[in-house]
Amino acid sequence: MSNEVRNLEPKALWNHFAELNAVPRPSKKEERVIEFMMNFGRSLGLETKMDAIQNVIIKKPATAGMENRETLILQSHLDMVHQKNADTVFDFDAQGIEMIVEGDWVRANGTTLGADNGIGVSAIMAILASTDIAHPALEAMFTIDEETGMTGAKELDGSNFDGKILLNLDTEDDDELSIGCAGGIDTNTSYTCKTAAIAEGSVLKEIRMRGLLGGHSGMDIDKGRGNANKLMTRILYHLVSVLDLQLISFDGGSLRNAIPREASAVVAFDKEALKHFEAEIAKISQEIRVEFSTVESALTITLHDASSEGMALEATEFHRILNTLYSVQNGVYRMSPDIEGLVEASSSLARVIISNGEFTTQSLQRSSVESSKGDVANTIRAAFENMGCTVVQSGDYPGWQPNRNSRILNLMADLYREMYNEEPKIKACHAGLECGILGKHLPGVDMISFGPNIRAAHSPDEKVQISSVQKFWTYFLETVQRTPEAQ
């Protein structure tokens, strides 16, 4: 299945991608991919080292005639988001990603693909391994744990680098040059609930929501996609308004930085109310499907028999939690007044768990402006503290302030016009690129981010466009070869 990828052009890049995707590399469990990358650098006879936080650094001298050019830092992250469809049987800790070629796209078989940021890593590997590509001195920086806290970037030892220009290969549209990004902060909450026995004579049903698009909670937050946690809350809120209902469990979402695609809830009610319950579920489900029909055509809401030996939430606790989940901010909080079309601040309710009397949530707030990042984070904190939750905010990282006078931006914008006879889109993005953090460790380094077309990152629908990878590779090589002279 994955061997078909090896025959794609440019073969050097795709072969490295196939080798990389054979190595499990979830965030915070990067030991195997770190070893893989260290062995790769050493096998080429290149200076290869690991810093204290376990970022991998590989250095390659300039080719003949390029010694007077600026040293280039090439940067991508080693970890990937591990997510699969509920009905996909796959062990991320033991299996390599199963890749499928479909027309002009490469996707995975029911899991995330790892094109984010594996294509960037593979492009850097290809140029490090090359024997016929002219380039200045290269400093390859492979960071860890980008997807769950940017730990590698935060703890980077900047003394390992001499370069004054950094190319970050972690953008997902091949006509864009990114010169700014959002910072972020995680808000995690916990609460111990009062419980009650499940009423005698109750029937138990599991409400299952599947088929939402999900996606990246930064890049896709303004696309009007459904959030499974919020939609399941909406269903429950409607049901308790029309019949007596007990909540036994709620399990929604999976990853802190992905829009939740799936959720389930187990409820109990008097068996005499079954027809009423089914009618109300059908009513609210149809309402939601119609409302989201343009965006979420694959959405399904189904009922299944359930059983439980546990406890239900006490009624007042159930209402308190529902009110909080319903009212908490989700989605775009503010659009930028300075950059047209840019989401300035947002929040995504990524994870909700209610089980055995424990209620926990995870959400991620983002903003390109530090003050509004604090504002939206406080909005979330206040909502949960108001119901008595313990709130912990952590993982705070800064945004990346755009510099329209950047030397590498001017070079790459001119090159794009020359190669493609059109204007590149010079943008800031609503995602947490590492550049904002790296800038603190590498003061004065000129940075830019670009990459091929990747769609639905952080979800099992993730795919990368083959023709776009070819365009990206050609543009990347030309940029490297036109690196300006050292100042």
**In angstroms, how far apart are the furthest CA atoms of the chain?**
84
Cα three-residue angle 331-332-333, rounded to 5 degrees: 110
Statement: residue 119 has pLDDT above 80:
yes
Chain segment 224-271, per-residue pLDDT in tens: 999 999 999 999 999 999 999 999 999 999 889 999 999 999 999 999
pLDDT at residue 369 greater than cutoff 90: no
Q: Is the pLDDT of residue 100 over 60?
A: yes
* Residue 473 to residue 138: CA distance in whole angstroms: 16
Place of tokens 């909005």: 379
Of 142, 112, 161, nearest to 40 by C-alpha is: 142
CA dihedral 213→215→217→219, nearest 10 degrees, is -110
Are 226 and 296 spatial neighbours (Cβ–Cβ below 8 Å)? yes
Q: Which two tokens stand for residue 367?
A: 């903003």
For the chain, percent of residues with pLDDT exceeding 90: 88
* Cα–Cα dist 472/478, whole Å: 10
Type of residue found at 442 = L
- Residue 428 pLDDT class (50, 70, 90 cuts): confident
461 carries an active-site annotation: no
Secondary structure class of 217 (helix, strand, coil): coil
Q: What amino acid occupies position 127?
A: I
Does the active-site annotation cover 146? yes
Spatial CA neighbour of 2 closest among 144, 130, 111: 111
Tens-digit pLDDT profile for residues 454-466: 999 988 999 999 9
The proportion of the chain whose per-residue pLDDT surpasses 70, expressed as a percent, equals 100
Query: Side chain identity at 466, as an amino acid letter?
Result: I
- Angle at which helix 466-481 crosses helix 11-21, to 10 degrees, equals 110
Radius of gyration of the CA atoms of the chain, in A: 24
Write down the mean pLDDT value for the chain. 95
Residue whose structure tokens are 């909406």 = 234
Other Cβ atoms within 10 Å of 203 Cβ, number: 15
Residues 403-423, mean pLDDT to the nearest whole number: 95
Residue type, 168: N
Q: Evaluate if residue 151 carries a pLDDT over 80.
A: yes
pLDDT tens by residue, 13-48: 999 999 999 999 999 999 999 999 999 999 999 999
Q: In which element (H, E) is residue 473 found? A: helix 466-481
Q: Which DSSP state fits 273?
A: G
pLDDT score of 1 more than 60: no
**What's the rounded Cα separation, in Å, for the pair 447 and 170?**
12
What tokens appear for 352 in the block?
A: 């909700």
Residues 6+ apart with CB under 8 A from 34: 50, 54, 56, 78, 144
- pLDDT tens digit sequence for 301-320: 999 999 888 899 999 999 99
Give the pLDDT band (50/70/90) at residue 487: confident
Q: Which domains does the chain have, with CATH numbers?
A: 2-182+399-481 (3.40.630.10), 185-397 (3.30.70.360)
The active-site residue out of 70, 79, 186, 434 is: 79
- Residues 6+ positions from 230 with CB-CB distance below 8 Å: 325, 326, 330, 349
Tokens representing 277? 């319950």
Which is it for the CA torsion 103, 224, 257, 306, positive or negative?
A: negative
Find, among 77, 90, 65, the residue nearest to 156 by Cα.
77
The three-point CA angle 214-217-401 to 5° equals: 155
| 146, 220, 262, 280: the active-site residue | 146
* Nearest 10 degrees: Cα torsion 231, 232, 237, 240: 150
What torsion do the CA atoms of 376, 378, 379, 381 make, to the nearest 10 degrees? 130
Among 80, 148, 25, which Cα is nearest to 454's? 80
CB 209 within 8 A of CB 232: yes
Contact 104/465 with Cβ under 8 angstroms?
A: yes
Helix (H) or strand (E) holding 359: strand 358-367
Q: CB of 177 within 8 A of CB of 360?
A: no
The burial of 403, by beta-carbon neighbours within 10 Å (0-12 exposed, 13-18 middle, 19 or more buried), is given as middle
Write a three-state SS string for 304-346.
EECCCCCCEECHHHHHHHHHHHHHCCCEEEEECCCCCCCEEEE
What integer pLDDT is reported at residue 98 of this predicted model?
Answer: 96
- Give the number of residues written for the chain: 487
Using alpha carbons, select from 423, 389, 457 the residue that is nearest to residue 189.
Answer: 389
